[in-house]
Amino acid sequence: MKLAKKNSLPLDKFINLALYDKDNGYYMKKNPFGKGGDFITSPNITRLFSEIIAIWTITFWKSIGSPKKFNLLELGAGNGEMMKVIDETLMNFPECYNACHFIIHEKSDFLITEQKKNLNSKKFSWLKDIKKTNSKPTIFLANEFFDAIPIKQFFKKKDSWFERFVNFNDPKKARFKDEKTDIEKIEKHLNFKISKNQKVIEYSPDTFKYLRIICDLIQKNNGGMLVIDYGYSDSKMHETLQAVNNHKYSNILENIGDSDITYNINFHSFEKFINQFKEINSNFTNQKKFLTSMGILQRAEIISKNIEFSKKADLFYRVRRLIDEKQMGELFKVMLVKNKKNNFTTGFQN
């Protein structure tokens, strides 16, 4: 893996190298999803998850006036499984389907190739820069997207803030190194006091760039964004950075390029950032409440009526995995970003 000329990299630059280096980055050279990968996402657990997202999309499309043309844009589509099921489901709703232009925003050329194998519809297009989205209303879907964007870490020691770096003097013995930083300069750029009442800060500059672009597009063209990711809503941030290799937690500084590096999103900071936009607001819930209020259990009952017991048991086991509070039901959170004028609450009636 090629390293920067500097021996020391800020944490987000190190993560970017480990995940997205053109030749050796984790996401650039293999398919990490499913049984053969390092983790399994909700769409890989049961297609019911994606069907629910499709039904939610239809109801949200109606809430913005059922436009004759709109974009459904997935941010980081993995192996394309979720979009494949959404495409198949929307076909049963011709008015919405005919109005829909499917777009995927994907950084990894390897995964784009995988997605194109999975998605044969001519209705799909791929977009590297979401700023180039056309002027039609856009519904953005972000399922486990933001947790894969490199983050910075800061730690308060006495009255000073320090940023985490990774020292690369010996790539085989990489180590963390903390350097003093001016947190006020960062806050001026973000336009809000991210350090208030904090001892630890985790945030992604690129995530806030995405949020800024998407909020601008929603204000300008209408639409919204559904975010599903693991995270927490506390106002106090925690250190949550972790690496996963072969379905097990591993050392972030080992197996560089062969491990996924991720973190738990602090949705409170998302909300604070979104509040900068006068015409935008957000709704928030957990995955259990979202999926159950959207009728995932009733849908499972309907499709399991005429299948053998073992398949029925397997289906409900998979659904439980998504909604059980001890599994993904509480760990995963769901956020809707939309125009304030839109009173849509489907999936968010707590």
pLDDT value at residue 256: 82
**Of the candidates 281, 276, 256, 304, the residue with the CA atom closest to the CA atom of residue 1:** 256
166, 15, 157, 208 alpha-carbon torsion, rounded to 10°: 150
Domain 30-150+204-248+260-339 sits in CATH at: 3.40.50.12710
pLDDT score of 315: 86
Q: Provide the pLDDT for residue 165.
A: 95
Strand spans (E) along the chain: 8-10, 70-75, 100-105, 124-126, 138-143, 152-157, 160-167, 175-181, 200-203, 223-232, 242-245, 248-250, 260-262, 265-266, 280-286, 332-339
Helix axis angle, 47-63 relative to 81-90, nearest 10°?
60
Q: What is the pLDDT along the chain (350 residues), one digit of tens a residue?
A: 455 445 789 999 999 988 888 877 887 766 555 555 545 788 888 899 999 999 999 999 999 999 999 999 999 998 899 999 999 999 999 999 999 999 999 988 888 988 998 897 788 999 999 999 999 999 999 999 999 899 999 999 998 999 999 987 776 788 999 999 999 998 888 888 899 899 999 999 999 999 999 999 999 999 999 999 999 999 999 999 998 877 678 888 888 888 888 899 999 999 999 999 999 999 999 999 999 999 999 998 888 888 888 888 888 889 899 999 888 889 999 999 999 999 999 999 86
Residue ranges per structural domain of the chain: 30-150+204-248+260-339
Give the per-residue pLDDT at 24: 79
Residue of 260, 266, 268 lying closest to 242 (CA atoms): 260
Rg of the chain over CA atoms, in angstroms?
21
Structure tokens given for 182 = 């001016």
Give percent helix, percent strand, percent coil of the chain, each to the nearest 5: 40, 25, 35
Return the SS3 of 342: coil
Q: Could you tell me the CA-to-CA distances from 228 to 58, 75, 125, 255, 286 in Å, in that order?
A: 17, 11, 22, 28, 9
Per-residue confidence (pLDDT) for residue 17, from 0 to 100: 87
What is the pLDDT at residue 32? Answer: 57
Instruction: Tell me how far apart the alpha carbons of residues 90 and 71 are, in angstroms, rounded to a whole number.
Output: 13
What confidence score (pLDDT) does residue 39 get?
57
Q: What is the pLDDT of residue 317?
A: 86
Please measure the distance between the N-terminal and C-terminal CA atoms of the chain and give it in whole angstroms.
47
3-class SS of residue 200: strand
CA-to-CA dists, residue 168 to 14, 155, 261, 326, angstroms: 10, 20, 17, 38
Residues with Cβ within 8 Å of 115's Cβ and at least 6 positions away in sequence, in order, are 77, 78, 79, 80, 83, 104, 106, 126
Partners of 181 in the beta sheet?
A: 161
The pLDDT value recorded for residue 350 is: 64
| Contact in structure between 226 and 140 (CB atoms under 8 Å) | yes
Angle between helices 267-274 and 205-221 (to 10 degrees): 40
| pLDDT at residue 182, as a whole number | 93
**Spatial CA neighbour of 227 closest among 285, 149, 154:** 285
Q: What is the pLDDT of residue 10?
A: 94
pLDDT for position 334: 97
